[in-house]
Amino acid sequence: MSHPLDDLISLAERTYVRLEAEQLIEDCLMNANPEPMNRLLEELVMAGMDSLIVLREILSVIRSVKSTINQEGMEVQHDLRKTLSQFGIGWPRDPSGGTPESYWHIYHYGLYQEIKAHAPWLKMEDQLILEEICNEAGKRVNKIVRRLVLLKDLEETVMDWINGLIHEIAHSTNLYPWSRQASFHH
């Protein structure tokens, strides 16, 4: 039977883990270095089955951060489309959104040349403005893509550790009592 205090302590522990994971992930992203998170994950796995809940919480945080960063990328795309439409220019290509690959088109420095080819009527001053806008969007997207790639790697690592722990738990506990009986008869 669960007690209200136990539930509150469990919630507080999960909240603490979540906050710590968010901070560690942000540090990893800021420094473009997954090693601090990898060390934590290894320690959690060494702790065994008890860390499975923590690993799942970390996975949830990673996915949440990934979603937020994807949203940033979508905003860059939206802002760029809106700016181009103000100049009477349509989006040169329509990439699928939400993946590092979909942002590559913005990052690609040939984007401005492609836009310029679709809008030869632009005045020189408008061309210069658009070139600067495209370059700035490219820089923002470059940062977003690097962060998404790192998060994807962290997500895969956490998933691998979770699956490994589940596999270990499944094989170290006797989930099938009849298999123990069968081994006594041999």
Highest mean pLDDT out of 12-21, 50-59, 84-93: 50-59
The residue with greater pLDDT, 12 or 130, is 130
Q: Are 152 and 66 in contact (CB under 8 A)?
A: yes
H/E stretch holding 169 reads helix 124-172
Residues, the chain: 186
Instruction: Write out pLDDT tens, residues 4-20.
Output: 776 667 777 778 888 88
Which residue in the block uniquely carries the two structure tokens 């181009």?
Answer: 84
Instruction: Write out pLDDT tens, residues 67-78.
Output: 999 999 889 888
Question: What band does 93 get if pLDDT is binned at 50, 70 and 90?
Answer: low
Give the separation between CA 26 and CA 115, rounded to whole angstroms.
35
Give the separation between CA 26 and CA 176, rounded to whole angstroms.
43
Q: Residue 64 to residues 15, 26, 67, 136: CA-CA distances in angstroms?
A: 14, 12, 5, 26
**Average pLDDT in the 104-125 region?**
76
What pLDDT was estimated at residue 18?
A: 82
Instruction: Write out pLDDT tens, residues 142-158.
Output: 899 999 999 999 999 99
**DSSP per-residue letters across 47-92:** HGGGGHHHHHHHHHHHHHHHHHHHHHHHHHHHHHHHHHHHTT---S
| CA-closest candidate to residue 151, choices 41, 67, 71 | 67
pLDDT at 50 over 60: yes
Give the separation between CA 115 and CA 112, rounded to whole angstroms.
5
**Average pLDDT in the 61-85 region?**
91
Identity of residue 131:
E
Give the separation between CA 142 and CA 146, rounded to whole angstroms.
6
